[in-house]
Chains A and B, each alone.
Chain A
Amino acid sequence: MHATIQKPLKEIINALSKDEKVFVVGCGNCAEKCRSGGEEQAREMKARLEKEGVRVVGYAATASGSSLCKLAAAKKLLLEEHKEEVAKADSFLILACGQGIHTVIDATGGAVVHPGCDTIFGGETVSDDFITEYCSLCGECIVEATGGLCPVTICSKGLLNGPCGGAKEGKCEVDKEQDCGWQLIYDRLKELGKLDLFRQYQSPKNYAKRSNPRSLKLEEKRATFKSLAGLRTIGQDR
């Protein structure tokens, strides 16, 4: 899940030039679940913009459960299903994550896009009304040593070798409401009888695996991850 939250309407409007004709695009997957960009939010955004005098030529969102960040789906939506309205548009306001924004550029062959949302994190949908972050997409999973809980994400400082001195009563120094990530890891490893893992030194992370931009190439039975750490292929001979 790529969690998103809509930008304030004023910020969206300020980014548009006078008489710019806008087409609103939403995503039926993550953005719909975040209530920031499903079909309902795209329709509402059209109405809110029109009320402020913005010229909106149409709106659309991928079907519920279908992602805008799939290029084929974005092309079908914009170049087939909404071809006529899209032809009238000067630009697209995207109610989706940053991947979705770029997918619209690709789908339209380079159209002008405006972000309607901020992409805030990759998260777990704990319930229909709560999404939270357990992974930072770092490219090098180390949770084998931490009972499945990611210190890069749940510790506000991303410390790998244990807690800092800032936790008070199990809460983090940055926010009295936030659990100390290392308290959670310690409790979990203790429960699992694996505190010896905590005693092991963890080397600095390889940030070359977190370089930008990264890619994944998929062949029939092979996958190749590309980052500044090099190419890593997992295939039939794995």
Chain B
Amino acid sequence: MSVLKDRLTKSEFVITSEIGPPKGINIEPHLKEAEELKDRVSAINVTDNQSSVMRFGSLATCHLLAKRGIEPVFQVVTRDRNRIALQSDLLSAWGLGVENVLCLTGDHPSLGDHPESKPVYDLDSVQLLQAADSLNQGKDLVGNELDGKPDFFLGAVVTPAADPLEPQIIKMEKKVKAGARFFQTQAVYDAGQFARFMKEVAYLKVPVLAGIVLLKSAGMAKFMNENVAGVNVPQDLIDEMKSVSKEDRPKKSIEIAGRLIKELKPLCQGVHIMPLGWDKYVPQVLDAAGL
């Protein structure tokens, strides 16, 4: 059984992290990164051609993690595969030891390194959840019986700082109805704003893991504020990053993330840490957060 599911069911505070597969075949260093986090987290997400940049696959990486005893969360975007391929990959994933699936739409291909590719989006994230939930029930999307059924723990994403928030919440509700049993969020930096979001979605009674992205510099924070949807780094955090020398940035980043997690902990059911290359600092962040 999925440890992630087990812990969330028992209302334990859950930690997940993620790795992004390489552009190429050198997967080993990424698996090592995951191994170093293994004892501190419940599961590790594997991104699916993130930012629409073609890479080593999420499914293969998940399988390699599972083989090493690391529980993966298979991220699946609907950008690159039609409903036949998506369902087939989900069945294959179960056969390869994957129990957790995170269903997403995926960035538009125009943002990545193959901008001329054909965007698929045969299904959207809600329909993908519906399809995966149907597989769990022993039927495919059109109702054909399966010869043996999986038992995926299905997740989805939400953007708590979206403006306006209501469309995000309506879609979140649809995702829950379609089969989502946990949520991981876009990066959160404002605990007050996040508390208001959690109040709004309390009626959905679904576990939410707040997204934590380690701040690397004031410049990165400003870049995200200007370019990344649903991310709002408050000015005081930007000033805090700015106040330290370059060598002290990791220390400051760890301190900020640790403090943020402490603030978020009473509000939600877990955190999802996206280190974006700073994997080695994750244990220190968890120490700083008292986890």
Residues of A that sit less than 8 Å from B by CB: 156-169, 173-174, 182-183, 186, 195, 198-199, 201-204, 207
Contacts and interface: CB of A to CB of B under 8 A. Distances in A.
Given A186-B164, A199-B170, A204-B127, A165 B108 contact: no
B174 A186 contact: no
Contacts of A156: 108, 110, 119
Contacts of A199: 170, 173-174
A157 B174 contact: no
Contact of A163 (B123, B130, B168, B178): B168
Nearest to B228: A168
B122 interface: yes
Interface of B: 79, 83, 105, 107-108, 110-111, 119, 121-127, 130, 141, 157-159, 162-164, 166-168, 170-171, 173-174, 177-178, 186, 227-230
A174 B130 contact: no
B90 to A, nearest CB: 15
Given A162-B170, A169-B163, A199-B174, A204 B229 contact: no
Contact of A182 (B107, B158, B167): B167
A187 to B, nearest CB: 9
B141 A159 contact: no
Indicate the member of A163, A169, A201 with the most B CB atoms within 10 Å: A163
B281 to A, nearest CB: 25
B124 to A, nearest CB: 4
24 contacts: A156-B110, A157-B108, A158-B121, A160-B124, A160-B127, A161-B125, A161-B126, A162-B168, A162-B174, A163-B171, A165-B162, A165-B168, A167-B162, A168-B230, A173-B111, A173-B229, A182-B167, A186-B167, A199-B174, A201-B130, A201-B177, A203-B127, A204-B83, A204-B127
B173 A165 contact: no
B167 A165 contact: no
Contacts of A168: 227-230
B121 A165 contact: no
Contacts of B170: 162, 195, 198-199
Nearest to A175: B110
A161 B111 CA distance: 22
Contacts of B119: 156-157
A166 B162 CA distance: 10
Contacts of B157: 165
Q: Top 5 closest A-B pairs, CB basis?
A: A162-B171, A161-B126, A168-B229, A159-B124, A164-B105
Contact of B166 (A169, A186, A204): A186
B165 to A, nearest CB: 11
B122 A162 contact: no
A166 B164 CA distance: 13
Contacts of A157: 79, 105, 108, 119, 121, 124
A186 B168 CA distance: 11
A117 B85 CA distance: 35
A103 to B, nearest CB: 28
Given A165-B186, A165-B230, A204-B127, A173 B171 contact: no
Contacts of A169: 163
Contacts of B230: 165, 168
Given A156-B108, A169-B163, A186-B166, A162 B126 contact: yes
Contact of A161 (B110, B127, B166): B127
A189 to B, nearest CB: 10
A174 B111 contact: yes
Contacts of A183: 164, 167
Given A164-B125, A201-B177, A202-B126, 10 more contacts: A158-B121, A159-B124, A162-B124, A173-B107, A173-B111, A173-B229, A183-B164, A204-B83, A204-B122, A207-B122
A203 B134 CA distance: 13
A191 to B, nearest CB: 13
B208 to A, nearest CB: 14
Contacts of B227: 168
Contacts of B171: 161-163
